[in-house]
Amino acid sequence: MKGGAYLENLAGIKAFAFDKTGTLTEGRPRVSGVYPLGGTQAPAAETEVLAVAAAVEARSEHPLAGAILDYARGRGLGLPEAGEFQSLPGRGASAVLEGRKLFVGNHRLFEEMGWCTPPVEELLERLESQGQTAVLVGRDGAVLGAIAVADKPREAARWALRELKRAGVLHTLMLTGDNQATARAVAAELGVDEVRAELLPQDKVEAVSELAARHGGVAMVGDGVNDAPALAAATVGIAMGAAGADAALETADVALMSDDLTRLPAAMRLSRRVGGIVRQNILFALLVKVVFIALTPLGLTSLWLAVAADMGASLLVIFNGLRALRRGR
């Protein structure tokens, strides 16, 4: 935690927003299939789709890019070096290879460019109905095909969300740029209260601000560059520290250095326990002062008694504060 103020703010949080990929899921997606447009699964067609995707993703830091590159290397493909790489936050990425503009991204990107055709929509619907994330690959104004990627939910995510509810959190929200079908499948498995899918980074900021207005404050948990604006907008921004992007770590108020979501309920309990101890200490210290102020005019105190009481109160406050080091529910 980057300061006591964030520990104090966390105690009053009643709503949590979570990024999906790399936060509620493992962030280690695996390619489950390559689907050239037209339905043919000829090796040459698959190789072309995969090679174009790998050329663009070679310079991307997105978890899906890593999955595509690993799959391409596993197939023994040489990775051509593309230039003019450009990240398109919330949509995908583009690059230029041999004078031809290549695009890799989600449905929103290709829809905005006007490249989506009925066969593309049919392919997307089929993959998304299976709970898979579809990465579209395009070149020269046409979609070459799609790469299906699946990312498993973190084993501890469901337990962590349940424990947050037990700790007093009233509402949980999952934010993702992924498609609605995949997002809802993950949310249903983990027990998330609300889902917002197909979001751009600015959409995540709006969702976090809206949730904060409804509940008087919100904690946002994320790990990627796309999450940094939402982390900054939250009452308390929490970054997945070990796997998180530098931008997310820099922006966040709290970092989970072990990438362990089970630490979230522990942090909530710690913040409330510390808050209670601080209030006890303040009350006790003021009470001692009030008692001595009241007794002094009556001649019932002395300088040495006042010094001893003040030192004793300080020691008791310190020892009481040390209780925060104890682990407990």
DSSP state of 29: -
Residue among 19, 178, 223, 227 flagged as catalytic: 19
Whether 310 is a known active-site residue: answer no
Question: What residues are paired with 30 via a beta bridge?
Answer: 150
The pLDDT assigned to 75 comes to 83
The pLDDT assigned to 44 comes to 62
Q: What gap in Å lies between CA 194 and CA 1, rounded to an integer? A: 27
Q: Tens digit of pLDDT for each residue in 131-175?
A: 788 899 998 888 988 999 888 888 889 999 999 999 889 999 999
In the block, residue with structure tokens 């905005």: 112
Q: Which of 21-35, 176-190, 209-223 has the highest mean pLDDT?
A: 209-223
Please name the fold of domain 30-150. Calcium-transporting ATPase, cytoplasmic domain N (3.40.1110)
- Band the pLDDT of 244: cuts 50, 70, 90: low
Q: What gap in Å lies between CA 215 and CA 266, rounded to an integer? A: 21
The pLDDT assigned to 327 comes to 62
Find the range with the poorest average confidence among 116-120, 133-137, 176-180, 279-283.
176-180
Q: What are phi and psi of 85, to 5 degrees?
A: -65, 140
The pLDDT assigned to 242 comes to 62
The pLDDT assigned to 235 comes to 92
DSSP state of 241: T
CATH node for 4-26+152-261? 3.40.50.1000
Asked whether the predicted pLDDT for residue 109 surpasses 50, the reply is yes
The pLDDT assigned to 150 comes to 83
Say if CB 201 and CB 90 are below 8 A apart: yes
Question: What residues are paired with 17 via a beta bridge?
Answer: 173, 220
pTM for this structure?
0.70
User: Residue ranges per domain, the chain?
Assistant: 4-26+152-261, 30-150, 271-325
E strand or H helix at 60, and its extent?
A: none
In the block, residue with structure tokens 């303040």: 282
Find the range with the poorest average confidence among 95-104, 122-131, 239-248.
239-248
Q: What are phi and psi of 238, to 5 degrees?
A: -120, 120
| Half-sphere exposure in the Cβ direction for 77 (13 Å, CA) | 24
Equal fold, 4-26+152-261 vs 30-150: no
Question: What residues are paired with 195 via a beta bridge?
Answer: 174
Q: Tens digit of pLDDT for each residue in 282-327?
A: 998 888 888 888 888 887 778 778 788 788 888 888 888 888 777 6
Closest CA to 153 of 178, 136, 129: 178
Per DSSP bridges, beta strands 171-175 and 142-150 are unpaired
Q: Rounded mean pLDDT of the chain?
A: 85
Q: What gap in Å lies between CA 158 and CA 261, rounded to an integer? A: 9
